[in-house]
């Protein structure tokens, strides 16, 4: 069996779909299953068992001999979350328990980290372990992810195979439930459909013009392909960036969304909300040399192609992956 935590969420449910497509059908999904909107992400997928996240470690004690691999993608992912106790419980302590269980039962582990660990990017975007203690995330969510990365690399006992994936700006199907934290593409689609226009955040950084803020946008289908590669090759443990290696502007993203809808672009700007203004990342770009160095050779989807697929094949028909 393959275990996927956070399974009703965005990236994890896409991974379940990818596993099913590769004929992995003995999948145990772990989550808090009370959000009915999120449950739609798992509809129609071939699954073995649903396990509540609070009961998972008891379940694992009983079933570990049947488990082949664990993808720990469950986390509190709201970058505006200020409850550090909650983040500590869900993102740090739960992940420590997962790590220790994988050591105890000799299970391979892939877990979700985040590009939020890089903060303002003053140290660049290298996933070299020596930089981990020096990183200064801009919000409690990023701190919780960086705290676990630092803890993991310092452990004398490790799973025989483990990988932490620093997700950059992931977009794609199955994020309907994410609200404010959904990708700008989903927000753009909804705004364009409703009003024919799109409003982006104005730049409050003199080094960037309005709309020229840049992020490394990576399609969720590429993300799950990397997860599959790590499961199937099991070559090298470590922390890896997972972006495309190419930063693109929010204007690029928005213009591509208009194009996918065959609409004429109409773009406006508004001030970045004050509650996120001081922690806003103006540039991210993954250094992908480490993942490439262990043999991952597949090209990443161009932003225009990913948006076209996402908009036309999922957002317009309201479909799931």
Give catalytic residues, as residue numbers: 141, 178
Tokens at 260, concatenated: 């996918």
DSSP state of 283: B
Burial class (CB in 10 A: 0-12, 13-18, 19+), 47: middle
What is the crossing angle of helices 220-233 and 303-310, to 10°? 100
* Euclidean distance between CA atoms 147 and 152, whole angstroms: 9
CB of 290 closer than 8 Å to CB of 238: yes
CB of 45 closer than 8 Å to CB of 14: no
* Euclidean distance between CA atoms 192 and 183, whole angstroms: 14
- Binding residue ranges for substrate: 169, 180, 187, 201-204, 215, 280
Largest CA distance in the chain: 57
CB of 218 closer than 8 Å to CB of 167: yes
* Distance between first and last Cα of the chain: 21
Q: Quick one: which of 284, 214, 278, 271 has its CA closest to 82?
A: 278
- Binding residue ranges for NADP(+): 10-11, 31-32, 38, 53, 73-77, 145, 170, 178
- Binding residue ranges: 10-11, 31-32, 38, 53, 73-77, 145, 169-170, 178, 180, 187, 201-204, 215, 280
């Amino acid at each position: 069996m393959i275990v996927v935590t956070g399974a009703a969420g965005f990236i994890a449910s896409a991974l379940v779909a990818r596993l099913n497509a590769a004929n992995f059908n003995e999948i145990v999904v772990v989550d808090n299953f009370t959000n009915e909107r999120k449950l739609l992400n798992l509809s129609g997928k071939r699954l073995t068992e649903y396990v509540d996240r609070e009961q998972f470690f008891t379940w694992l004690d009983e079933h570990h001999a049947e488990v082949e691999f664990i993808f720990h993608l469950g986390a509190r992912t709201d970058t505006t979350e200020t409850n550090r106790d909650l983040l500590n419980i869900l993102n740090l302590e739960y992940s420590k328990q997962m790590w220790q269980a994988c050591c105890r039962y000799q299970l391979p582990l892939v877990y979700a980290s985040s590009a939020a660990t890089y903060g303002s990017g003053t140290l660049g975007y290298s996933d070299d372990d020596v930089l981990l203690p020096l990183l200064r995330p801009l919000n409690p969510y990023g701190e919780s992810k960086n705290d676990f990365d630092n803890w993991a690399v310092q452990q004398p006992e490790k799973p025989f195979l483990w990988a932490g994936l620093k997700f950059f700006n992931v977009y794609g199907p199955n994020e309907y439930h994410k609200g404010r934290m959904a990708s700008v593409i989903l927000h753009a689609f909804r705004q364009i459909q409703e009003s024919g226009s799109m409003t982006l955040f104005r730049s409050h950084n003199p080094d960037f013009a309005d709309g020229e803020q840049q992020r490394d946008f990576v399609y969720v289908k590429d993300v799950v392909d990397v997860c599959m590669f790590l499961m199937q090759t099991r070559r090298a443990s470590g922390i890896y960036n997972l972006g495309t290696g190419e930063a693109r502007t929010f204007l690029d993203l928005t213009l591509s969304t208009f194009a996918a809808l065959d609409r004429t672009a109409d773009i406006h700007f508004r001030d970045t909300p004050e509650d996120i203004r001081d922690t806003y990342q103006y540039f991210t770009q993954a250094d992908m040399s480490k993942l490439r160095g262990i043999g991952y050779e597949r090209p990443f989807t161009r932003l225009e192609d990913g948006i076209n697929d996402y908009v036309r094949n999922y957002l317009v028909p309201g479909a799931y992956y």
